[in-house]
Structure 1
Amino acid sequence: MSKSEAAKGGNARGFISGVVEGFYGRPWTMEQRAELFKREQKWGLNSYLYAPKDDYKHRMYWRDLYSAEEAEQLTTLILAARNHNVEFIYAISPGWDITFSNPKEVAALKRKFEQVREFGCRSFSLLFDDIEREMCPADKQAFDTFAHAQVAIANEVFQHMGQPDVFLFCPTDYCASFCTPNVSQSAYLHTVGEKLLQGIDILWTGPKVVSHKISVESIEEVSAVLKRPPVIWDNIHANDYDPQRIFLGPFKDRPTDLIPKLRGILTNPNCEFYPNFVAIHTLATWCKATPEEEPSDVEMREEDQDLCYSPQKALTLALTEWLQDFLNTDQPGGPQHPAARLKKDASVDEPMQTDLGEAAYVPGPNENPLYTAEPLTLDDLKLLSDLFYLPYEHGATAQTMLQELDWLKNHSWAVAAQTEKTAEWCSRAQHFDGLCEAVVQMFNRLSNAPNRSILYDLYNYICDIKSGVGLARAYVKSLGGQGRPSAHVMNDDPEPWGFRGGLSGEFQRMLPGHGNRDLFKHPPMTTVYCIRPYCPEDKDEVQRIFREMQRPGGDKAPLMMQPPLMSDSLLELDAPPSPHCAVVVEDEMGMCGYALVLPEAKPAAVKIQRELGATVLKDYPSLLTLQVLPRVTDPSPAKRMISQLLSSLKNSGSAGVLCEVRHSDRRMLEFYTKLGSFKPIKIPGLPQDVLALGASL
C-alpha cells in the first residue's frame, strides 16, 4: 500500500488523521472546535479526539452524566463535526479512581458512553494515561496485573458498544521511556497486545512523552509487541507543561515512511487554539505527502532526509495561509480596529467616522505625523515561528541571535583592544542590533493586526520575547560603550521586568544541572591546550595526576581497597614509554592530563594476574589508560590524545586496544560511552567493579 493510499483511507477502516484536544488547561470553546472542524475538512484531516484533561466530566467526575444543557452542546458539536466529514471520537479517562473489579463501576462507564452515543457519537476512546499504577486490594484479588484489569474493562465496553469502527485505548505505558525494562520486554505491553481485542486501536506517543524523533524502526518494534499498528498521539507541539513556551514550528522529524506503518496520527497541540494553525496545517501536509510532491531542491532534500515532505516548505505554506487569517477583519474587534483599513482599497473614498461632527485631525507642518499601522508580513511570521519553534530546536534566526550574543559577550575585550577583532566586534554588534530591531518591528506589526483573537493568544509570549531581546540588546550596547545609564539593565536594583522566573525560576536556579537542557549549546571552552609527547621528566607529574584522581571522594574507596586495573602498572614500568605511545596535555596552569598505551597488554595483565584469553589478546592486543584533571571540562583534549595514540597503534599493526574503568569512575565511563568507538567486552574473572572496554583499529 502506498503512503497516499494509507493517508486517504486505503486500509480497511481508514487512516485516522487529525487533532486530539488532550492537554491540561482551559479547554477550547465550542466555537473554536467548530472552527477546527472547518479547517480539518479544508486541509484533508478526518478526526477529532475529545479528551480535554480539565473537562471534569471527562476525567475527575467521569461517572456523572451530562446535564440537558451540556448534552445540547455536545450534540451540536458532534453534528458540526459530521457536517465537515470529521469523525468525533469521545474519550473518557476513568483511571484515577475506578475500581476495575466492581460491576457498578463498569456499568457507570457503559452508561456514560451510551449517553454520548445518544448524542450521535459513533467513535469512542478509553484513556489510562497519567495515573498511578498501584491497584486497590479488591482489584489485586480479581486481576493478575494492572494491564489485565485495563484490558478486561476495555474489551467489555468495546463489545457492549457494538464494536465500533473506531475505539482507541491509551495504555498507562504509552511511550518507550515508560516501559520496563524496554518496549520489547515490557510485560505490561505484551499483556495489552495479546489480550486486547483486535478491533481496539492503541495510542502511542513514541520514544518519549514529547518525542523529538519517531523512527520507522521504533514503530515496527512497538507494533510487534502490540500486535497492531499504533495511532500516534503526538505531543511535539504541546505546551501545557511550560507556561513560557509556545510552539509555532513545522511538524517534523517523523519520516513519511511511517504513514503505512501506522493506524493513524493525532496532534495534541498548544493549549491556545488560534496559534495551532501551523501545527495542524503542517501535519495535514505531512499526511498528504506523496513521492509526486518530492521537493526539487537538492539542498532541501539533504537537510530533511525525506523525499516526500519538506518541513520548511510545509511551514512556508502554512504561514502564507495563516497571514490571511491575521489580516482578516471578520473577527471580533476586527472592523473597528484602525488596522482594518489596511486591506481596503486606498482608492475608495470613504468618509471617516467622527464624533459630534468634528473634522478629522490633521497635524500641522511641524507637528508629529499621524500613526499609520504597517501591515504584518510573511517575513514577520517566519521570524515569529523561528522565535517559538519546537521543544528540541530553535528556529534559524533565534539560533543565530544566541550565537551572536554569546560571541559578543565572550569577545567584549575586543572593544578596547583596537585590533582587527574590534572591527569584527562592532560589525557583529550592529548585526545583532538589527536582528533585535526586527523582533521589535514584528511585535509592533503583530500588535496592530486586525484579527485580535490570534493576537490575544500570542500576546503574553511576544511581550516576553520582546522584553528579553530588549534586555540583551541593551547589554550589548553597554558592552560597546553606547548604553545610557537607563540601558544598563544588569544592575543591583533592577525593575521587575528586568529579570525572569518568579518562584519557579528561583527554585530551578538553585538545583543542580540548571540549564543542561537548554537548546542553545555553548561552543567548547576557549582555553588553549597543548598536547605534546611524553618525556622522562614528566614522570613525577603524571604520577601526581594519577594519585590525585585516585583520592577517595564521593563514592570512591581508598585505592588499596579497590580492585587493581591493568593500566595501574603502566605508571610503574622501569623503561619510560616511547614518545609515540604516550602524550600529555597542558593548560596555562601546567600539566592537566595524560594518555599512555602499551602495545602489548599481556605483561600488564600477568602482573595483576588478569587472565585475558587468546581471543581478547588477538582482537585487543594493546592497552590504554587516560586521565585528565576535573578542571578540564572540555572533552576535546582527551579525544585528541586518544585519536593520536590510536592512529599510532594502528600504523604499528595493532588490531585493537582495550582499557579498564571502575564503575565508580562515572566521569570516565561517561567519556568513553560518548566517545562511541569503545564497546564493553567480556573478560572472565573480571572484578565486579571493573568494566573492560575495547576499540577495534
Structure 2
Amino acid sequence: MTSGPGSETRRFISGVVEGFYGRPWTMEQRTELFKRQQKWGLNTYLYAPKDDYKHRTYWRDLYSAEEAGQLIALISAAQRHGVDFVYAISPGLDVTFSNPREVAALKRKLDQVKDFGCRSFSLLFDDIGTEMCPADKRAFGSFAHAQVAVTNAAYRHLGEPETFLFCPTDYCDAFCTPSVSQSSYLHTVGQKLLPGIDVLWTGPKVVSHKISVESIVEVSSVLKRAPVIWDNIHANDYDPQRLFLGPYKDRPTELIPKLKGVLTNPNCEFYPNFVAIHTLATWCKSSPDGGQRDADMGDEARDTCYRPQDALSLALTDWLPEFLIADRPGARPKEDSSDVEPVQTGVGESSYVPGPEENPLYTAAPLTLNDLKLLSDLFYLPYEHGPTAGAMLQELDWLQGHGGAGEVARVYAAYRGDGTAEWRARARQFDDMCEAVVQMFNRLSNASNRRILYDLYDYICDIKSGVGLARAHVKALGGQGQPPAQLVSDDPEPWGFRGGLSGEFQRMLPCHGNRDLFRRPPVTQVYCIRPYCPEDKDQVRRIFKATQCPGGGAAPSMMQPPLICDGLSAGELPPSPQCALVMEDGGGVCGYALALIDAKQAAAEIQRTVRDAVLEDFPSLVTVRVLPHVTDPSPAKRMIGHLLSCIRSNGSRGAFCELRQSDWRMLNFYTDATSFKPIKIAGAPRDVVAMGTTL
C-alpha cells in the first residue's frame, strides 16, 4: 500500500492535533494555524481538545446555535486554506457500547457536525478505564470488540468517509500486554476494524523519545494497516513548568513511506508552537531516499535528508519577524531590527525628552535570532536539553565539584596551585552564559508582539530566576559575595524555591530525580540510615581507608597528616553513646557519621596540642565519610544533623571536624551542606583544615 507524500492512491496525513488537556485554543488562533499549515504544506487539523466539554465529558449534547456558528466558521476557514478538518469525539468515559440509544446519540452528534460541512471524523478511546459494565460484558467478547463494533457502525453511518481515525485505548507499545505482537486487544482491532479506518499510535511510549522503523513495521503487521502517528514529542500538558521549543527529531525520514501520516499534539500554549509545527512540516517534505538505514538515531548526520538543527534554524529565522509585529493599540512595530527604541511608544503622542541632568529614557534592544536560539536551547525537548543549556549544567556541576575561590579555598589556596585560575576562568564563562539569559529575557519582555510574550512569560521568568540563583551561588563560591538568601535562609521568600506541594511529595519519594536530563551517577538510590553497631566496625574501617586520598585510593598512614578523628574511623576509639550512625544502600554500608562529645582525651592520645580556648568553644568532634559513588548529599546531611542534635542535648557548646586539604569532596560537603566554618587550631599540621560550628 502506497501512503507516502505524492501518492495518488492515499494521501499522507500531515498536520496538527489539538488534543491536549487544558484551555483549548481560540477560534482566532485556529484560523491562524490553518494559514500557517497552508503556507508550510500541512494538510490536516484534528479537533480533539480534551477540555472542550462537548467533545469528551458531555459528548451526547448537541451544539447550541452559537456553538454551531463557530464550528461552521472554523470548518469553512480550514477548507479555504486547504486543510482537512477532522472532528473527533471521545465517548469512552461513560458510553455503554451495547445500548442502542447510546449508539444513536453518537450518530446524532456526528450527523450534526456533518451538517456543519465536516467530512472527516475520528473516534477516540484514549485515557479511559478498561473495565466494561455488566451489560457490555454480556454483549461483547472483549473491550476491543465493543469499541470496534461502535466505530464500524459510526463509520458506515457516515458513508465511509475518506478520512476516519480511530484511537485505541492501547495506543503505544508500553500499554500493550504482554507486547505489541502478542496483544489480544490490538489483534482484535487489526482483524475487526474496517480497512478504511486508520489507527492513531504514539510510538513506544505516550511521549516517545525515538520512533524506529522496526517498531512501526511491527505494529503495522498487527493492525493490518500503517498507523497515523499522534506525536506527543512537543506536548507539555503533563507538566506546567515545561515548554518544548526544540526541533522535530529522532524520527528517521524512512518512516514516511511506512506511515499513513503524522500529527503533532504540541504545547498547550498556541504561539510557542511555531517551532514544533514548522519543523514537522520540514520533516514531512523530506525525501526518504538516502535516509537512515538503522534504528540508532543518535547521530543526526546519518539522516541525510532531514537535519533537525537545520530545520530549527529555519524555523527560528521565520519566527523572529513575528515578535516584531505590534499586536496592541498604540504600539509601534519595529521597522528596523537594528534600531533601539523605548518600550512605551505611542503613535501621535509627544515624546518626552529628559533634561541634561535627568535620567535618560529607558530603551530596550530588539530581540535577535541568537536570543531565539538560546530560548530554544533552554526549553528544548522532553529527553534532551539544548547545547547551551547542557553546557551551563556541566559548568555549574564542575564549579561546585571543584570548590571555588571562596572562604575555604583561601585556607588551602597554596595547595591547589593553578587550579584556582582555571576555576575563576570557568566561573567567568558561566557568568557570561547567565548574563546572556538575562539579556534574552529583557529583550523578549520588550518585544512588540505581546501575545507571543504572554504565552512565554511564565517560562522565561522561571528560568531567569533559576539561572540567577545559580549565578549568585557561583559568585559566593568565588568569594565575591554571600550565598543567595534563597538558598541558605531558614525563612526564604516564596519566590526563592520551586515546586510547591507537588514538589515536596516528589522529593519524599524514592523515584525523585530519575527523569533528570542532566545525569549524575546514581541519583535515584534509596539510602537507609541506622545506628552504628559493633559489627559495623570492619565496614567503617573499609570506608575510612577507601576515602583517605583523592580518587578513593588508600595511602600509607605515615604519608597522611594525623587527624584527631582517625582513631574514631579506625575503630581505635569508641564513639560517644547514641552518637554513631551508618548509611546503607543496595550494596551495603556506604557511609558513616561518628562523634565524640568530649574530644580532649582523643586529642591527647595522638599527641596533638589543642588550645583550651578552642575546646571550650568546640569541645565535641564529628567525622563523616561517604563512598565516592554517593552523590546525593542529603543522607550525609541528615546524619550530621542527628549527631549535632545529640551533642547539643548533652550540653556541648560546639563541634569541630578536621579534614585534609586534598579531600575536596568532604570539604565541599561541609562548606555547602552544613553550618561548619573554617577555624584555626594552633599546632595542627599545615595541610589540615579545621572547621567548627556552634550549637
Change in CA separation of 1:444 and 1:345 when aligned onto 2, cut-off 3 Å: closer
Q: C-alpha offsets along residues 406-443 of structure 1, whole Å, 9 cap, x if unaligned?
A: 11111125543242110011001100000000000000
Verify: 1:89 aligned to 2:86, yes or no.
yes
Q: 308, 320, 326: which one pairs with 2:305? A: 308
Structure 1 position 225, deviation (Å): 0.3
Report if aligned partners of 1:339, 1:373 keep a CA contact under 8 Å in 2. no
Partner of 1:440: 438
The alignment's TM-score, normalised by the length of structure 2, stands at: 0.72
Partner of 2:279: 282
Change in CA separation of 1:507 and 1:452 when aligned onto 2, cut-off 3 Å: same
Q: 368, 372, 395: which one pairs with 1:377? A: 368
Partner of 1:501: 499
Report if aligned partners of 1:475, 1:487 keep a CA contact under 8 Å in 2. no
Report if aligned partners of 1:326, 1:450 keep a CA contact under 8 Å in 2. yes
Work out the number of aligned pairs and report it. Answer: 533
Change in CA separation of 1:220 and 1:291 when aligned onto 2, cut-off 3 Å: closer
Q: 424, 427, 451: which one pairs with 1:429? A: 427
1:254-273 to structure 2, matched below 5 A, reads 254-273=251-270
Shifted more, 500-509 versus 38-47: the winner is 500-509
1:575-586 to structure 2, matched below 5 A, reads none
Verify: 1:587 aligned to 2:546, yes or no.
yes
Any unmatched runs of 5+ in structure 1? 526-543, 549-583, 594-626, 637-697
Partner of 1:403: 394
Structure 1 position 486, deviation (Å): 6.4
Structure 1 position 511, deviation (Å): 1.1
Amino acid at match of 1:45: L
Q: Distance in 2 between matches of 1:311 and 1:456?
A: 27
Verify: 1:364 aligned to 2:358, yes or no.
no
Amino acid at match of 1:506: E
Q: C-alpha offsets along residues 609-637 of structure 1, whole Å, 9 cap, x if unaligned?
A: xxxxxxxxxxxxxxxxxx9655367499x
Shifted more, 481-490 versus 439-448: the winner is 481-490
Q: C-alpha offsets along residues 547-576 of structure 1, whole Å, 9 cap, x if unaligned?
A: 99xxxxxxxxxxxxxxxxxxxxxxxxxxxx
Amino acid at match of 1:454: I
Q: Distance in 2 between matches of 1:237 and 1:457?
A: 15
Verify: 1:208 aligned to 2:205, yes or no.
yes
Q: 358, 370, 381: which one pairs with 1:390? A: 381
Q: Distance in 2 between matches of 1:486 and 1:413?
A: 16
Report if aligned partners of 1:124, 1:166 keep a CA contact under 8 Å in 2. yes
Q: Distance in 1 between matches of 2:418 and 2:400?
A: 17
Partner of 1:512: 510
Q: Distance in 2 between matches of 1:293 and 1:180?
A: 35
Report if aligned partners of 2:331, 2:347 keep a CA contact under 8 Å in 1. no
1:9-408 to structure 2, matched below 5 A, reads 10=7, 12-290=9-287, 302-329=299-326, 331=327, 333=328, 336-337=330-331, 340=334, 360-408=351-399
Q: Distance in 2 between matches of 1:232 and 1:133?
A: 22
Report the secondary structure of 1:250's partner residue: coil
Structure 1 position 479, deviation (Å): 0.9
Change in CA separation of 1:155 and 1:457 when aligned onto 2, cut-off 3 Å: same
Q: Distance in 1 between matches of 2:120 and 2:443?
A: 43
Q: Distance in 2 between matches of 1:17 and 1:148?
A: 29
1:591-606 to structure 2, matched below 5 A, reads none
Change in CA separation of 1:29 and 1:360 when aligned onto 2, cut-off 3 Å: closer
Amino acid at match of 2:392: M
What is the RMSD computed on CA atoms of the aligned residues? 3.0
Report if aligned partners of 2:148, 2:192 keep a CA contact under 8 Å in 1. yes
Q: Distance in 2 between matches of 1:486 and 1:301?
A: 39
Change in CA separation of 1:285 and 1:406 when aligned onto 2, cut-off 3 Å: same
Q: C-alpha offsets along residues 121-169 of structure 1, whole Å, 9 cap, x if unaligned?
A: 0000000000000000000000000000001111111111111000000
Q: Distance in 2 between matches of 1:199 and 1:426?
A: 66
Q: C-alpha offsets along residues 274-295 of structure 1, whole Å, 9 cap, x if unaligned?
A: 0000000000000001268999
Amino acid at match of 2:10: R
Report if aligned partners of 2:486, 2:493 keep a CA contact under 8 Å in 1. no
Q: Distance in 1 between matches of 2:290 and 2:309?
A: 14
Report if aligned partners of 1:399, 1:520 keep a CA contact under 8 Å in 2. yes
Q: C-alpha offsets along residues 227-258 of structure 1, whole Å, 9 cap, x if unaligned?
A: 00000000000000000001000000000000
Q: 463, 466, 472: which one pairs with 1:474? A: 472
Change in CA separation of 1:178 and 1:352 when aligned onto 2, cut-off 3 Å: closer
Report if aligned partners of 1:17, 1:264 keep a CA contact under 8 Å in 2. yes
Q: Distance in 2 between matches of 1:408 and 1:338?
A: 44
Report if aligned partners of 2:253, 2:291 keep a CA contact under 8 Å in 1. no
Report if aligned partners of 1:231, 1:265 keep a CA contact under 8 Å in 2. yes
Amino acid at match of 1:374: A
Shifted more, 57-66 versus 512-521: the winner is 512-521
Change in CA separation of 1:259 and 1:369 when aligned onto 2, cut-off 3 Å: same
Change in CA separation of 1:102 and 1:302 when aligned onto 2, cut-off 3 Å: closer
The alignment's TM-score, normalised by the length of structure 1, stands at: 0.72
Amino acid at match of 2:160: Q
Change in CA separation of 1:92 and 1:485 when aligned onto 2, cut-off 3 Å: closer
Q: Distance in 2 between matches of 1:485 and 1:344?
A: 38
Any unmatched runs of 5+ in structure 2? 524-534, 554-585, 591-626, 632-695
Report if aligned partners of 2:126, 2:171 keep a CA contact under 8 Å in 1. yes
Change in CA separation of 1:291 and 1:512 when aligned onto 2, cut-off 3 Å: closer
Partner of 1:643: none
Change in CA separation of 1:440 and 1:61 when aligned onto 2, cut-off 3 Å: same
Report the secondary structure of 2:87's partner residue: strand
Q: Distance in 1 between matches of 2:214 and 2:544?
A: 42
Amino acid at match of 1:426: R
Amino acid at match of 1:588: T
Report if aligned partners of 1:6, 1:15 keep a CA contact under 8 Å in 2. yes
Report if aligned partners of 2:46, 2:87 keep a CA contact under 8 Å in 1. yes
Q: C-alpha offsets along residues 46-93 of structure 1, whole Å, 9 cap, x if unaligned?
A: 000000000000000000000111111101100100000000000000
Amino acid at match of 2:393: L
Partner of 1:6: 4
Q: C-alpha offsets along residues 355-390 of structure 1, whole Å, 9 cap, x if unaligned?
A: 6xxx64323334332222211000000000000000
Q: Distance in 2 between matches of 1:306 and 1:455?
A: 34
1:540-551 to structure 2, matched below 5 A, reads none
Report if aligned partners of 1:249, 1:389 keep a CA contact under 8 Å in 2. yes
Amino acid at match of 1:313: D
Amino acid at match of 1:36: L
Q: Distance in 2 between matches of 1:438 and 1:343?
A: 19
Q: Distance in 1 between matches of 2:282 and 2:264?
A: 13
Report if aligned partners of 1:354, 1:360 keep a CA contact under 8 Å in 2. no
